[in-house]
Structures are given as C-alpha cells and as structure tokens.
Amino acid sequence: MKQTLRFWLGRTSLALIAAASLLAFAWPLLIGSGTEVAWTQTVLMALMPTLVVFAFAEIAAGEIDSRQLATLAVLTAVNSLVRLLGAGMAGVETVFFLIIIAGYVFRAAFGYLIGSLSLLVSALIGAGVGPWLPFQMMAAGLVGLAAGLLPRAKAKWVQLTILICFAAVASYVYGALMTMWNWPFLAGENTSLSYAPGAGILENLNTFVKFEIFTGGLLWDTGRAVTTCVLIALTAPALLPTLRRAANRAGFEKL
C-alpha cells in the first residue's frame, strides 16, 4: 500500500512538473495584453531555476536511490562531454540521442533528470551559461521524460523505429519550445511575424509557425532531427542492451 502510494505520488509530481514546464514555454499564447509581456517573461526566468530544483528534489526523493544516482551521474557526465562534440552549426547537436535512449530504458523520471542535468553540466564546462539555460534544461528534460513514456516493444527493429520517429518529432518540439518563450522579443513589433498580445491562440500559433519558417528555425530543427536520428540508428542497437543490463544491476526494474 505504501509503495503504491509512493508510486502514484511520484507520477503525479512528474505530471505536474511537465504541465508547469509546458505552461512556462507557452506563456506568449496566454498573455492578454502587451503590458504583461515583459514582466511575465522576467518572472518566468526567475522562477524557472526554482522549478528545475524542485523537479530534481521531488523526483530524486521519490525514485532514485544511491545505485541509480551513480548511474545517472555517469551517463550525465558522458552526455555532457558528448554535447561538446557537436558543432552547433546548422542544428548539429549531439546531446539528444543519449537522453532519448536513456529515457526509453530507465523510464520517465530518469529521462527528465538526465535531460536537464546534461544541459546544465555541459553549459558549465563550456557550452555557455545564460538566461536561456533553465529553459534548455527544462525542454531537454521534457524530451527525456516523453522518451520514458514511449511504448515498449520486443522486436529490436520496432524499438529502433519508435526511437527514431520520436527523435524526429522531439527535435522539432524542442526547437519550437526554445523559440516560443522568447518569441515576442525576437520578432520585434508591428511586423507580419510579430507576436500579438491578446490575440487568439490559433492566430498566434499561425504567426509563430510563419516566424519559424521565415527565420530558418525549422531548418535548424531539421539539422537537429537528422543528427539525432542518425546517432540513434548507429548507437541504439548496442546501447539498448548495455543500458538494460545497467538498469537491472541498479535496480530500475520497478520503474
């Protein structure tokens, strides 16, 4: 009974964190007037690190023991160094393939943590720190979390297909989230691509898609998608069984 309660409390916390994260990115679609834009983004930039810390504490306290924490630390360190190998040009990013594979094997909570921590550690050791970092951490965490919720399959080719298809979609979603939170300021005012405070959600979404197309955001996301899909295709056949053995030794069976 106690274990069941802990399980559902952990899942509820994870769902609330994911919902709060998505709302933090989608704030331009929810603002009613232009006067609210600047202070809303300022408040979110101040609160985002708090939300990240709360997520780490909540998930770790509920589901990660010392053996699992050691596994998380090793994979985070490896992925942080792997990220630095990416050129960063034309959307070439090497950080997401391991987040997705690890999230798929170790499940949602672990996926959220490795996604967020990989971006944090890599930023501290050379990728760059700025006001965008908490948003990068949260978006990468959501990618890892979603990977942990993907359906399981026995056939290896089905697993690989699921991961590659997810990687393609996640690459575009990550790019859209990272653009949307700062879109009102990137687009400027009084243009056909500008954010319109108080406009309907569908109207602003339509304008946002145009902004992504005409400013090259989708092209950048395509580079990320291709890089991630290729790396998953090359590494997943070996990484999946290796990480599953590590998961069994670390006691992740229950997750």
232 versus 110: which is more confidently predicted?
A: 232
Residue 22 has pLDDT above 90, yes or no: no
Please indicate, yes or no, if residue 48 is contained in any of the structural domains.
yes
Classify residue 174: in a domain, yes or no.
Answer: yes
At residue 236, does pLDDT exceed 70? yes
In 3D, which of 144, 136, 160 has the Cα closest to residue 230?
160
pLDDT of residue 108: 85
Residues 6 or more apart whose CB falls under 8 angstroms from that of 187 comprise 193, 194, 195, 211
Q: Please report whether residue 110 resides in a domain.
A: yes
User: What pLDDT is attached to residue 85?
Assistant: 79
Residue 245 domain flag:
yes
Which pLDDT value is given to residue 179?
87
Rounded CA separation 65/53 (Å):
18
The per-residue pLDDT for 127 is 67
Q: What's the CA angle centered on 48, arms 43 and 51, to 5 degrees?
A: 125
The answer as to whether 233 is a domain residue is yes
CATH number, domain with residue 37: 1.10.1760.20
* C-alpha span between 166 and 200 (Å, rounded): 29
The Cα 243–Cα 13 span in angstroms is: 26
User: CB 68: neighbour CB atoms within 10 A?
Assistant: 21
Q: How confident is the model at residue 213 (pLDDT cuts 50, 70, 90)?
A: confident
* pLDDT of 255 over the 50 cut: no
Please determine, for residue 144, whether its predicted confidence score (pLDDT) is greater than 50: yes
Average confidence (pLDDT) over 129-148: 87
Instruction: Give the residue from 133, 177, 122 showing the smallest Cα distance to 45.
Output: 133
Domain that holds residue 150: 2-250
Q: How many CA atoms lie within 13 A of 195 on its CB side?
A: 25
Residue 255 lies in a domain: no
Closest by alpha carbon to 70, among 240, 247, 254? Answer: 247
- 3-state class (DSSP) for residue 73: helix
Name the residue among 196, 195, 175, 173 with its Cα closest to residue 186: 195
Mean pLDDT of 49-62: 61
Share of the chain above pLDDT 90, in %: 28
pLDDT (average), residues 183-194 = 78
Are 163 and 102 in contact, with CB atoms under 8 Å apart?
A: no
**How many structural domains is the chain composed of?**
1
Say how many CA atoms lie within 13 Å of 51 toward its Cβ. Answer: 27
Structure tokens, 183: 């879109």
More confident residue, 53 or 220: 220
Task: Check residue 188 and give left, alpha or beta (phi > 0: left; psi -120 to 50: alpha).
Answer: left
Average pLDDT rounded to a whole number, residues 126-149:
86
Q: What pLDDT band is residue 219 in, cutting at 50, 70 and 90?
A: confident
Q: What is the pLDDT of residue 118?
A: 92
CA pair distance 40, 15, nearest whole angstrom: 23
| Domain assignment present for 51 | yes
Q: Is the pLDDT of residue 114 over 50?
A: yes
Kindly indicate the confidence band of residue 50, based on its pLDDT and cuts at 50, 70 and 90: low
Pick the residue with more confidence: 161 or 12?
A: 161
- If phi > 0 it is left, if psi is from -120 to 50 it is alpha, else beta; for residue 2 that is alpha
Contacts of 71 (CB under 8 A, 6+ apart): 106, 246, 247, 250, 252
Confidence of residue 254 (pLDDT cuts 50, 70, 90): very low
Would you place residue 218 in the very low, low, confident or very high pLDDT band (cuts 50, 70, 90)?
confident
